[in-house]
Chains A and B, each alone.
Chain A
């Protein structure tokens, strides 16, 4: 599915660890790709995914966008953004307790905001899966391919 670039920093020495790459990718979009040497891709992921998440928060306000009480399953998608989403959730909870009569976003801004932040989280989930696939392909480099199923041609 995914081809490994020749400039991977880890390909010459030891293969990178998949769990570490996935954890880094969860902590900051693109950090896993940066760690395995795909730095240009990492910067694109960081800019686009972080921008999408915070655009959503800007449209709806943090209290409307990142709230587990009202947004149900969307919060699970948003939490795929990692510490940024956790920080937004903490900020949202703080505002909920401190300023109870704060103005909330009206329709459709509220829905647009939640979808933006949720899609950003889901995109980061895809990036995590992509970095895992790249790490796996890097570890497989140099190993002989297994024979095709059924033994190939008869």
Chain B
């Protein structure tokens, strides 16, 4: 049996895979947070709740409408994006001219409300969501077992992140976003409907969280607590990567997921805190974050 530092290779690879899966979600969620922060300068505390909503919408679709995974992959994020539109238009847009801390407080309150409601209705245990039939089973790669759905999640997350990057860097819409991040008043003075741009950006960020939620449903099960558990880690990821950089957030997400996985193998007690420890170290050495611009 092949061992690496005393751990069998399949066990090591298994943990790294889990790490990479976690990293995929960290990447997608930090991407959404970074997009929203870049444009609106708001730390979207409700991001975890929106992730949870995505999973729940997928579960609702299956349970009450018999709509399966593939349509849910489109419909659920759209639903969360719509919730995002409402949140931005009714609540967030009123506080843009205030200190940015109020955005954090407002979205924090929203997260409490949304998660509180779902906890009230569904308790704290998870609802099951089965792996879509296309992806049941696993590949036997010899040195490890690779479940098909897990592989799909990783590929899907890379596709999502890449697609978002393309949207921002290579399209006209993305140009509007990038310009409005720098000088929203001037962009509006050119005739661009910046308020609508802000709404769309928040909706896209929320939708990304929702999409991550759908992908997460078969992996982590659908629970009202799933957002809370992950959102603070994602904050740490974003602080480490640097808030100004979208690609930085994504790369940091994957890498930290892997680091967490490795830590679980060699030093399990530290696995829940290793990301925060890295955050402290990065702050001491490079306060702007690894890819930060400020």
Do A and B assemble together?
A: no
Which residues does A use to contact B, with CB under 8 Å?
none
Which residues does B use to contact A, with CB under 8 Å?
none
